[in-house]
Amino acid sequence: MSKPGGRWYKSLFVQLLVAVVAGVLVGHFWPGLGADLKPVGDGFIRLIKMIIAPLIFCVVVTGIAAVGDLKSVGRIGLKAILYFEIVTTFALVFGLLIANVFRPGSGLDIDPATLDPNAVEKKTSGGQLPSIGDFLLHTIPDSVVNAFAENQLLQVLVFAVFFGLALAAIGRERAPLVLGFVDQVQQIIFKVMGWIMRVAPLGAFGAMAFIIGQYGISTLGTYAKLIAACYGAGLLFVLILAAISRFYAGVSIWRFLRYAREEFLLALGTASTESVMPRIMTKLTDAGCSRAATGLVVPTGYSFNLDGATIYLSICTVFLAQAFGVDMSLGQQLLAVGILMLTSKGMAGVPGSSFLALSATAAAIGAFPVAGVALLLGADRLMDSMRVFVNLLGNCVATFVVAKSEKQLDREKMLAALEKRAVRASLTDSESLKVPLTRLGTAPRPDDDA
């Protein structure tokens, strides 16, 4: 973000917007070149992933230490999980409703004999989604070192929670060096993030050029009704999130989107919410959410609160049935919701996870051939923008809701941030920590140096 009085072309938002448009043009007019630019986008994502695990650890540990109330930390986690379950279940049912009303697959009359039964397996590399038991067991690291080395974010989160709780139980006064060290590491990570963000427009350009070059704008016409249904459902769901945010947390979602416009544009340009996780956590804490709420809700939401993905899965399930001329019964649709509730929780980080989830659903309900999932191979990436935007916004709203419920949402700080008023950072938390070498929670914004 450009500083007040700075030139417009120094604005990160403007740079990202230009990069995304340039990527679309390159991918459309020179598709071969666009497809070859994939390493540029992937390189930027890898740079971001490099700092996510240590950042989550530092934010969670310092956040729990700042709260100091172990019961409060437990309530935050339970409220987040409960909220995620309610909202994602609603998103699944909402997607089914949209698909039944708009019927995006009607009239396609696909012949099952024309399908390639191996197409989905090639896309997913023969992988499979973990069972609920395996997924929950996998959240517990068998080695802390492996959790960080393999970038297993939920495992890092679990270890950070235990570490932070132990630090709070021992007492902040008895471990000032440990707390100070963690906070100083956090400041260093923010500095590194500021450097990485300088190449964010280049990453967005490469990612967008690859998507358009590889899949082509012409695909829009082939799947027009499906794409319209998914994006229309996403827009309506955003309005629902806006109502939740406004009437419960007192946060204007439109002002928040303006406040975090660089992060949302970068997520859209790279088709990845991970690319903005560090920055969106910073924005949420700057907007008044406590570090404990932000540190616990956002990383957990990346696996448990995939609102956009669940809407897409439910719509595509009905779309595929309609494409084969099958009207799913109410029982079959409810069964699909139940299956997707389970499979969607293990989707994060699994290659081709949406195809695996749809394949499992197709096999269970028997309404259409499992091989029919291959019909979505051409349109799946074109739905990324909807999924990424709704997933990211859903996690932001969840953070505000949970922080508000725990009285850990500083309303004055939130209004000051969203209204772009200059405000002196509160030192209440850092003073209570009594760590003279740090200013906990008042780290410089990563784009201050960008």
Q: What is the pLDDT of residues 274-293, one digit of tens each?
A: 888 888 999 999 999 998 89
* Mean local confidence (pLDDT), 208-212: 81
Residue that is written with structure tokens 């806006």 in the block: 242
> Please, are residues 365 and 318 in contact by the beta-carbon 8 Å criterion?
no
Nearest CA among 273, 224, 245, 246 for reference residue 397: 245
pLDDT score, position 311? 92
**Percent share of the chain, pLDDT over 90:** 19
- Residue 351 pLDDT greater than 60, yes or no: no
Helices 277-286 and 384-405 pack at an angle, to 10 degrees, of 30
- Residue 353 pLDDT greater than 70, yes or no: no
Nearest CA among 244, 220, 222, 254 for reference residue 91: 244
* Mean local confidence (pLDDT), 265-274: 84
CA 434 to chain centre: 34
Highest mean pLDDT among 161-170, 371-380, 413-422: 161-170
354 vs 127: CA distance, rounded Å: 12
Each residue's pLDDT tens digit, 225-264: 888 899 999 999 999 999 999 999 999 999 999 999 989 9
Structure tokens at 315: 């719509």
pLDDT score, position 401? 95
For 188-219, the DSSP string reads HHHHHHHHHGGGHHHHHHHHHHHHHHHH-TTH
Confidence of residue 352 (pLDDT cuts 50, 70, 90): low
CA distances from 376 to 99, 315, 342, 358, 389 (A): 15, 12, 21, 10, 20
Q: Is 140 exposed, middle or buried (0-12, 13-18, 19+ CB in 10 A)?
A: exposed
* Mean local confidence (pLDDT), 131-136: 68
263 vs 398: CA distance, rounded Å: 17
- Residue 372 pLDDT greater than 70, yes or no: yes
Judged by average pLDDT, the poorest of 50-54, 89-93, 183-187, 209-213 is 209-213
pLDDT score, position 49? 84
Judged by average pLDDT, the poorest of 46-60, 207-221, 432-446 is 432-446
Q: Is 36 exposed, middle or buried (0-12, 13-18, 19+ CB in 10 A)?
A: middle
32 vs 58: CA distance, rounded Å: 42
Each residue's pLDDT tens digit, 64-74: 877 766 788 88
pLDDT score, position 422? 37
pLDDT score, position 238? 95
- Residue 144 pLDDT greater than 60, yes or no: yes
- Residue 126 pLDDT greater than 60, yes or no: no
Q: Is the dihedral of CA 251, 257, 258, 260 positive or negative?
A: positive
Nearest CA among 418, 22, 14, 71 for reference residue 205: 22
CA distances from 375 to 96, 127, 260, 431 (A): 19, 19, 35, 58
Q: What is the mean pLDDT of the chain?
A: 79
Nearest CA among 202, 296, 183 for reference residue 12: 202
pLDDT score, position 349? 54
The count of residues in the chain is 450
* Mean local confidence (pLDDT), 207-215: 78
Nearest CA among 350, 384, 354, 387 for reference residue 214: 384
Confidence of residue 438 (pLDDT cuts 50, 70, 90): very low
